[in-house]
């Protein structure tokens, strides 16, 4: 259901998308295990983080949510929930690997989210916003369900990479270039910025009026 | 708007659905009264718990939310809000009765939710999930609005009965059997499991890694 | 996309709507600055309060969210986010002015929300509820994201003015009167009631059972 750019293999793209959904699901499932939710709660949180971003995107476009109708995605988040439920210690020992996969998921989802918005005829600003919402919507809902102010709104460089990746495909599309290379470029920029953000501990700035009690944030 | 299985009386089904919506509304209204919300907040919480599950279901199916358009359902949640607002002490003295009606609401809504998904051509996994979402979506939103981690994700056997009830009608439908008897069977299984869960204090298990500090949960 | 009553200037109405969206955005942006969210969080909260009410209204009607597709509204909430981010001290010195504009936004949005529901053929109860949801939905989501029980459900006279304003246009519409004068009357009633509520510190009553520890609330 996700539009396929020229020069792309459909099956490869589906597998990449499922891998991204799975790693998003892990982030939800692990957060649920840490918050001591029960098995049902772990499965719900995995589904929320894996699917809610794409569902919100589709509702804002005004079409029935596509990933919900495709059992592959439901299977991916179900598996992520079970892996989280039984594998927390093993996953936390491999935390850098999980973060690496999550950055891959972020990169894929922001690019496919923006492409889908463009395919439905939405404007460039909307496409970039929907690319970002696809990537971060699930994590925001995860934090709300676990009664936390969403991390992505407070710290960390998580949304900016998604905006950058979505912007590359959107600008290319507006310039008439729909070749898959721009999708790869957008995903690569998102992935690289995200890893740089983790490595350097980068964050977005606080408002000037809130910076009094601490060294400037930027 | 809810599909009617063979051998069912439409008026009876509407009344049962309204009774379920009303008891869901009571759960929202009472939680709001306890949290010291004002009259408006009590009405909103009654509406949220009574209607949000079905609205979410319809948005995920991709159709305009049907219960919102039907004034019977709005009247049911409005009445539930007013009864909660003025009748908290009386309701709490009859708490077992309220729980009994709530279990009936759960049983009805999981069955009609799954049937509606099947009527719109969604697959079996989606139908079972939508049956569960119809039943528990409102309660999750109630807890989020009152700033609690949703009960249904942490403890209690509330979602499992809904999944079981939805599974019965879905499996029967997939096997070609749409007779109303399977709807009754699904609702009965849900109702029975829910009452058993309350009576025995059953819960879903915690993740293995989280069970260290306490006797095993299952 | 918003229906225009007879005797109204389209451009004027768009500007009034954008002004309302902008002041709603300020309320979200300022709350985010106070909660020490970063620049991205401030922009998201401004967008949430400015747009979520209208988006929820359109999803409940069953049409693609219109304000999201119109870049004017995205620009209005983006500007509100930036003004909040850089201008908290200046805005708080002019707090009465901000509240005045917010009351204007409330008055406009409840009237246009109800009109839109009526234009899509929904009944009077639905139109009044959707007028209120358009006005208060964003604020509820703002409080949930910042981990507070929504103010509008607990205290203050914020929803009642919106309900009154929506009721005026709805009753006029049901009586066959679609002249713009009723929209002005509804907006004026909402605006006046809201200012009176702020001035007198009015609130909706608590449930009778919760009033024991304090002087009666009404």
Which pLDDT tens digit goes with each residue over C100-153? 888 888 999 999 999 999 999 999 999 999 999 999 999 899 999 998 888 888
Q: Which residues of B touch C129 (CB under 8 A)?
A: 74
Q: What is the pLDDT of residue C20?
A: 86
Q: Is residue A4 over pLDDT 60? A: no
Q: What is the pLDDT of residue C9?
A: 64
Q: Which two tokens stand for residue A163?
A: 């905006």
Using DSSP's 3-state secondary structure scheme, residue A163 falls into helix
Identify the top-confidence range among A178-182, A214-218, B84-88. B84-88
Q: Give A179's DSSP letter.
A: B
pLDDT tens digits, residue range C10-69? Answer: 677 788 788 889 989 999 999 999 999 999 999 999 999 999 999 999 999 999 998 898
Q: What Å distances lie between residue B56 and A35, A72, B83, C109, CA to CA?
A: 25, 21, 25, 24
Check CB contact under 8 Å for B154 and A44: no
The answer to whether the beta carbons of residues B6 and B178 sit under 8 Å apart is yes
More confident residue, B77 or A205: B77
Q: Which two tokens stand for residue C35?
A: 């909660």
What backbone torsions phi and psi does residue B123 show, to the nearest 5 degrees?
Answer: -75, 170
Determine the average pLDDT of the residues in B149-155: 85
Q: Is residue C83 over pLDDT 60? A: yes
Q: What is the pLDDT of residue C218?
A: 43
Determine the average pLDDT of the residues in A195-201: 89
C177 CB near a chain A CB, below 8 Å?
A: no
Among the partner residues B122, B123, B154, nearest to A38 by beta-carbon distance: B154
* Distance, CA of C91 to CA of C75 (rounded, Å): 19
* Distance, CA of A169 to CA of A82 (rounded, Å): 34
Using DSSP's 3-state secondary structure scheme, residue C6 falls into strand
Q: How does A194-214 read in b/e, with b if 16+ C-beta sit within 10 Å?
A: bbebbeeeebbebbebbeeee
Q: Is residue A180 over pLDDT 90? A: no
Q: What is the pLDDT of residue C1?
A: 43
pLDDT tens digits, residue range A102-148? Answer: 888 899 999 999 999 999 999 999 999 999 999 999 989 999 999 88
Q: What is the pLDDT of residue B86?
A: 94
Q: Which two tokens stand for residue C111?
A: 């009237």
Check CB contact under 8 Å for A146 and B149: yes
Determine the average pLDDT of the residues in B20-44: 92
Q: Is residue A213 over pLDDT 70? A: no
Four-residue CA torsion sign, B113, B114, B118, B119: negative
Q: Which two tokens stand for residue B191?
A: 């109702």
Check CB contact under 8 Å for A68 and B126: yes
Q: Which residues of C touch A123 (CB under 8 A)?
A: 69, 71
Residue B6: band (very low, low, confident or very high) from pLDDT cuts 50, 70, 90: low
Q: What is the pLDDT of residue B42?
A: 95
* Distance, CA of A196 to CA of B1 (rounded, Å): 52
Check CB contact under 8 Å for B86 and C60: no
Bridge partners of residue A179, in order along the sequence: A6
A88 CB near a chain B CB, below 8 Å?
A: yes
Gyration radius from chain C CA atoms: 17
Check CB contact under 8 Å for C38 and A150: no
Among chain C residues, the shortest Cα distance to B88 is held by C209
* Distance, CA of B106 to CA of B189 (rounded, Å): 11
Q: Give A149's DSSP letter.
A: -
Locate tokens 């949930």: which residue?
C144
The answer to whether the beta carbons of residues A158 and A141 sit under 8 Å apart is no
At residue B94's C-alpha, the angle toward residues B91 and B98, to 5°, is 75
Largest alpha-carbon pair distance within chain B? 52
Among chain B residues, the shortest Cα distance to A42 is held by B153
Among chain C residues, the shortest Cα distance to B52 is held by C60
* Distance, CA of A120 to CA of A1 (rounded, Å): 12
* Distance, CA of C5 to CA of C178 (rounded, Å): 6
Exposed, middle or buried, C66 (CB in 10 Å: 0-12/13-18/19+)? middle
Using DSSP's 3-state secondary structure scheme, residue A62 falls into coil
ipTM for the assembly:
0.85
Four-residue CA torsion sign, C85, C87, C89, C95: negative
Give the predicted TM-score (pTM) of the model: 0.88
Determine the average pLDDT of the residues in A198-215: 79
Q: Which two tokens stand for residue C66?
A: 């219109």
* Distance, CA of A192 to CA of A207 (rounded, Å): 26
Using DSSP's 3-state secondary structure scheme, residue B94 falls into coil
Mind giving me the DSSP string for C162-180? HHHHHHHHHHHHHTT--BH
Interface test with A, best of C34, C41, C77 (most A CBs within 10 A): C41
What backbone torsions phi and psi does residue B179 show, to the nearest 5 degrees?
Answer: -65, 145
Distance from CA of B146 to the nearest CA of A (A): 10
pLDDT tens digits, residue range B39-65? Answer: 999 999 999 999 999 999 999 999 999
* Distance, CA of C56 to CA of C138 (rounded, Å): 9
Indicate the average pLDDT of chain A: 87
Residue A190: band (very low, low, confident or very high) from pLDDT cuts 50, 70, 90: very high
Residue A214: band (very low, low, confident or very high) from pLDDT cuts 50, 70, 90: low
* Distance, CA of A48 to CA of A52 (rounded, Å): 5
The answer to whether the beta carbons of residues B52 and B25 sit under 8 Å apart is no
- Among residues of chain B, what percentage have pLDDT more than 90? 56
Q: Which two tokens stand for residue A17?
A: 């998308």
Interface test with C, best of B41, B67, B69 (most C CBs within 10 A): B41
* Cβ neighbours for C25, distance < 8 A, ≥ 6 positions apart: C46, C47, C49, C50, C76, C77, C79, C80, C81, C84
Q: What is the pLDDT of residue A9?
A: 63
Check CB contact under 8 Å for C122 and B69: yes
Least confident of A111-125, B3-17, B202-216: B3-17
More confident residue, C114 or B179: C114
* Distance, CA of C143 to CA of C105 (rounded, Å): 18
Q: What is the pLDDT of residue B133?
A: 94
Residue B1: band (very low, low, confident or very high) from pLDDT cuts 50, 70, 90: very low
């Amino acid at each position: 259901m996700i539009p396929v750019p020229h020069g792309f293999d459909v099956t490869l793209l589906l597998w990449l998308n499922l891998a991204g959904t799975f790693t998003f699901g892990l982030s939800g499932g692990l957060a649920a295990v840490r918050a001591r939710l029960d098995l049902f709660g772990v499965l719900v949180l995995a589904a929320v983080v894996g699917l809610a971003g794409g569902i919100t995107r589709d509702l804002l476009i005004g079409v029935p949510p596509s990933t919900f109708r495709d059992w592959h995605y439901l299977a991916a988040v179900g598996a992520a929930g079970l892996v989280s439920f039984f594998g927390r210690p093993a996953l936390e020992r491999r935390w850098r690997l999980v973060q690496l996969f999550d950055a891959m998921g972020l990169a894929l989802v922001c690019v496919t989210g923006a492409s889908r918005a463009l395919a439905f005829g939405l404007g460039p600003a909307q496409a970039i916003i929907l690319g970002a919402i696809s990537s971060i919507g699930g994590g925001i809902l995860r934090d709300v369900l676990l009664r936390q102010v969403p991390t992505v709104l407070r710290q960390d460089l998580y949304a900016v990479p998604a905006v950058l990746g979505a912007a590359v495909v959107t600008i290319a599309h507006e310039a008439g270039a729909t070749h898959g290379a721009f999708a790869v470029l957008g995903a690569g920029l998102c992935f690289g910025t995200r890893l740089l953000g983790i490595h350097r501990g980068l964050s977005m700035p606080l408002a000037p009026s809130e910076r009094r009690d601490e060294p400037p944030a930027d």
